[in-house]
A = this chain, B = another copy of it.
C-alpha cells in the first residue's frame, strides 16, 4: 500500500497535521512545531520514503498545477509548418519556470462539448485557433476556469481575453503590396477545414475590408479541397484573378505544387501569398511571399496572461475586464509575388 501522511505521523509519534505543516514549509499553516519534532518528522518521512499524493492535494486544494493547451485540429508536428511547434515553445517558456505542467487534451474538443474544461482538471486553458459553435461558445463563457484564446479575433467569446494577429493590418499590407504591383483581381484561398474556423473567416473578412479600402473589387473566396483542377485556369490570360492570398503557408505550398503541375507559372501568371512565413517559404519554388506573425511571442504572452488570471482567481481578486491584444504582422516579400499579368 501507499505510504500516507498518517503513517509518517505514527512513526514520528505526532499527528498528521504536524507532518503536513512541516513538509509544506509551515508557511501557510497556523500550526507550529518544535524544531526537534520537525526533525523527527522529516526523518520519519525519509525512512518511509513518503511521497505526498499530488492527487489528494489537488483534490483538497482545488488546484492542480496543470494548464491545458487545446488546438482546434489536433494534428502532428510538421517541420514544414511550425505553427504548433512555435506555440508550444512560447507556452513552455511561460509555464515551466512557473512550475505548471502542460497538458495536451484533445478530448476537450469532443463532440463540440467543451464541458470538460471546468471539470477541475486544469487550473487554466489556452485555446488555440478556435472553431466554435454557439453551444460551445456558451459553455466557454460559463467555464469555471480561466481561459485565454489565441488566434481568435477580439470578442469571439464574450468576456474572454484574446491574443490574436492583427489580420486587418496584415491584409492591408498584403493588399497594398499587391496594388503596388498592379494587381486588382484578388482571391482568398482556404481549405474546407479552416474555412469554418474563426480565424479563417476573420482573414477572409480582413482581406475584403482591405481591398475595399484600396478601391479594388471584392475578392472571391476559393475553397480548395483535394481537387485543384480549378487552378488550371490561371495559365490562361483570361483568368479571373492575378493574385491568390492563401490561408496558410502549407496551403500555399500545395497551390504552388499544383500550379507547377498545371503549367501555371508563379509569379508570371499569378502571384501567391502565404500566411505564417515559415521556413518552408525559403525552400519552396519559387520562394513564398508570406505574412509573418510573431507566433511564439504571442503564445508566450498569452500564457503569461493566463497564469496571472489563475493567480488572481486563487487570491480572490476581483476579475478585471478581459483584454484583447492584437499583434502587428509583417509581410515577408519573396519571389512568389510580382507584377500583375496584363490581360
**Residues of A that sit less than 8 Å from B by CB:** 2, 49, 51-56, 58-59, 62, 64, 66, 74, 76-79, 82, 85-86, 88-89, 92-93, 96, 99, 101-107, 115-116, 118-121, 142, 144, 279, 283
Contact = CB atoms under 8 A, between A and B. Distances in A.
A18 to B, nearest CB: 21
Given A79-B82, A103-B103, 16 more contacts: A52-B119, A53-B119, A55-B58, A55-B64, A55-B119, A55-B120, A58-B59, A59-B59, A66-B103, A74-B96, A77-B85, A79-B85, A101-B104, A101-B107, A102-B103, A102-B105
23 contacts: A2-B144, A51-B116, A51-B118, A51-B119, A53-B119, A53-B120, A54-B119, A55-B55, A55-B58, A55-B62, A55-B64, A55-B119, A58-B59, A74-B92, A76-B93, A77-B82, A77-B85, A78-B85, A79-B82, A79-B279, A92-B104, A102-B105, A283-B283
> In the complex this chain forms, how many copies of it are found?
2
A115 B51 CA distance: 7
A278 B115 CA distance: 40
Q: Which 5 A-B pairs have the closest CB atoms?
A: A77-B85, A55-B120, A54-B119, A102-B104, A101-B105
A76 B116 CA distance: 29
A59 B53 CA distance: 9
A49 B82 CA distance: 38
A64 B121 CA distance: 9
B118 A107 contact: no
A69 to B, nearest CB: 9
Contacts of A89: 76-77
Contacts of A74: 92, 96
Contacts of A99: 107
A283 to B, nearest CB: 7
Contacts of A118: 51
